[in-house]
Amino acid sequence: MLPEGLVLHHGHLDAAAQAGLLSALREVARAAPPRRMETRGGRRMSVAMTSAGRLGWVSDAKGYRYEPRQPSDALWPPIPEAALAIWRAVSGWKEPPDCLLLNHYGEGARMGLHQDRDENAFDAPVVSVSLGDPARFRFGGLERSERTRSFELLSGDVLVMGGPSRLIWHGVDRIRFGVSPLLDKGGRLNLTMRVVREG
Ligand code: SIN
Ligand code: FE2
């Protein structure tokens, strides 16, 4: 049993839908190349990230924030329709997301426990889509100190973090590299869509 507001749509995307979304995300990555950013503390993340939408998520020594432009000064590419269709199907939210954050996990990449709290819009859910290699997703409660549990996210799975689970601590322990044939070079893509309010 998952906590209220954390909803797994296992196998939401069939093979054709995964391939279609993947090719749309390749366009995003062409227009806005993923980068391994630095955390506030100056450590380089193992996951490479980029964004699509009105705002993109960035991290550097100044901290975590949303920016209307890429470091190159270009606007972020639009959120692909295939991703917006998933948002409409599972979010229960009227407005479209402002940001699609695209994460690429190569061999050995992981993501430490964190909360998604740079959005100032905690009434709107975060919708997360997994493609490629399986990932061990870990989640806890609203306090960092709470006990955590984990389960595996597979290619085509869609996870909603909303309601009382919008601000849960979560992360990715590891991926099982090379298990999925979806990405030519192996690895995993995760995209999260978010509503962002400034200020
Ligand atoms: C994230 O929390 O930003 C990523 C979660 C995931 O990769 O499944
Ligand atoms: Fe997150």
Domains, the chain: 6-194 (2.60.120.590)
Question: Using 50, 70 and 90 to split pLDDT, how confident is the model at 194?
Answer: very high
pLDDT at 199 over 80: no
Residue partners of 52: CB distance under 8 A and separation at least 6: 28, 32, 76, 77, 78, 79, 80, 83, 99, 100, 102
Mutating to test ligand 1, I would choose from 64, 119, 128 the residue with most ligand atoms within 8 A of its C-beta, which is 128
Q: For the chain, what is the mean pLDDT?
A: 97
Q: Tell me the sheet residues that pair with 175.
A: 135
Q: What is the mean pLDDT of residues 80-96?
A: 98
**The whole model's pTM is what?**
0.97
Residue type, 189: L
Chain centre to alpha carbon of residue 185: 20
Q: Which ligand is nearest to the CA of 138?
A: 1
Half-sphere exposure of 126 (CA within 13 A, CB side): 26
Between the CA of 44 and the centroid of ligand 1 the distance, in Å, is 16
Closest atom of ligand 1 to CA, residue 130: 8
pLDDT above 90 for 82: yes
Q: If you take atom 8 of ligand 1, which residue's CA is the nearest one?
A: 190
Distance (angstroms) between ligand 2 centre and the Cα of 184 equals 25
Give me the amino acid identity at 173.
Answer: D
**In angstroms, what CA-CA distances link 151 with 3, 159, 198?**
13, 12, 33
| Interval 135-182: pLDDT, tens | 999 999 999 999 999 999 999 999 999 999 999 999 999 999 999 999
Average pLDDT on 11-16 reads: 98
Q: Where are the beta strands (DSSP E) in 41-157?
A: 48-53, 56-60, 63-67, 99-105, 111-114, 126-132, 135-139, 149-153
Instruction: Specify whether the CB–CB gap between 99 and 193 falls below 8 A.
Output: yes
% of the chain at pLDDT higher than 90: 96
Average pLDDT over residues 26-41: 96
